[in-house]
Amino acid sequence: MIVLTGGAGFIGSNLLKKLNDENIENIIVVDSLDSSDKWKNLIGKRFVDYYDKDMFLKKIQNGMNFDVETVFHFGACSSTIEKNADYLIHNNFFISKVLLEWALSQNIRFIYASSAATYGDGSSGFSDSNDTTLKLKPLNIYGYSKQLFDEFLVRRELDKKVTGLKMFNVFGPNEYHKGKMRSIVIKAFEQVDATGKIRLFKSNDPNFRDGEQKRDFIYVKDCIDIIWWLYKNSKKGIYNVGSGKANTWMSLARAVFKAMDKPEQVEFIDMPEILLDKYQNYTSADITKLVRAGFDQKLMSLNEAVDDYIRNYLLKNDQYN
C-alpha cells in the first residue's frame, strides 16, 4: 500500500498518474480539497481510498494500521506569499513530523517534498549537501517552513532513512487550481491569448537587467521521472529536483510565444511590494548528487517542455494529465 498526501495537487496528481501507468493502484490519497477545483485532478485516476488530511492524521495518531509500504508526502501549503506563519509551520513542519514519526515507527519508507525556496538569495549556493542545508537562510516564511523540516532531519541524521525532494520551479499540467501560485508558463499563455503580450517583473537587483533574472525551470514530467527513479532505486537523502540549468524569464517568454506561434511582445511591470525583499533572482539546482547516484536520464530543454505543455494541453483547453 502507498499513501500519497497532496495526491489531488499539482505534483501529487502527476505522480498518481505515473503510479497508475506502472499498474500501481493500491494507493490511499490524502488531501484537503476545500472549495478548489483540484478534485478534477483525481478524475480517471485509480486508488483504493481517499481521506481528508485531518481525518487521516487522527487515524494514525489513534493507532490505525494501514499496512503501508511507502508514504509520498507532498501535502503542504505551497504559497510563497502566505503571511500566516503559524499556519505554514503547522502544515509544513508539524504535520510532516507527525507523518515522519508514524512512518519510522512502522518501518514505512518516507519520501517528502521540500523546496528550492529554502535556498533564499542563493548566497550559500544550491548544493543539496547536508553542510549547505544547515547554512541556508530562506527569504520567506514558506521557504523557512520547509527549511525547518530539512534541518530537523539532518541534525538527527534521519536524512539517512528518508528521501527528500527539493523542488525547483516546476510547471506543467494539473496546476490550474493553484491561483496566484501557478507557473509563469500558464500565466504567460493566458496573457498572450488575451492581450498578445507577456508581463514580466522589472528587476529589483542592479546585477540583473529586466527579464534577465534566472530560474531553474523543470517540467513536471521530468520532475516525476526523477522522483520515480529515486523511489525505484531506493535512494536515501535529500536531493535537488531541478534541471540543473538556469534560464532567464525572457527565454521562457520567447518559448511561450514560439509555442503559440505569436510575435514576441513583452511589457515590464513593477514588482509588488510584498515580493521586493523576498524575490529569488537566481536559482540553479546543483544535481551532482543525483547524477553521482546514477540518474542519467536526459531531461527536456526549456523550449521542448514549454512546447509540449502549450501545444498538447493548453492550446487544446485540456489542463489535465
Task: Report residue 211 as a C-alpha cell.
Answer: 527579464
Of 142, 239, 282, 313, which one is the catalytic site residue?
142
The rounded distance, in Å, linking the Cα atoms of 212 and 115 is 22
DSSP string, 179-220: GGGS-HHHHHHHHHHHHS-EEEEPPSSTTS-TT--EE-EEEH
CA distances from 122 to 31, 102, 117, 119, 136 (A): 32, 34, 10, 5, 8
Q: Please say if 142 is a catalytic residue.
A: yes
Instruction: Specify the DSSP class assigned to residue 76.
Output: S
Any alpha helices (H) in 196-321, and if so which ranges? Answer: 220-232, 249-260, 288-292, 302-309
CA 290/CA 284 separation, integer angstroms:
14
Q: How far apart are CA 44 and CA 84, in angstroms?
A: 35
Closest CA to 177 of 12, 40, 51: 40
Residue ranges of alpha helices (H) inside the chain are 10-21, 53-61, 85-89, 95-105, 130-133, 141-155, 184-195, 220-232, 249-260, 288-292, 302-309
CA distance 230 to 57: 26
Whole-number Cα distances in Å, 253 to 89, 199, 212, 215, 308: 34, 9, 11, 13, 15
Which of 18, 40, 53, 178 is labelled catalytic? Answer: 178
Closest CA to 297 of 241, 251, 256, 246: 241
Active site residue 178: yes
Interatomic CA distance for residues 251 and 179, integer angstroms: 23
What is the C-alpha separation between 249 and 251, in angstroms, rounded? 5
Q: Tell me the catalytic residues.
A: 142, 178
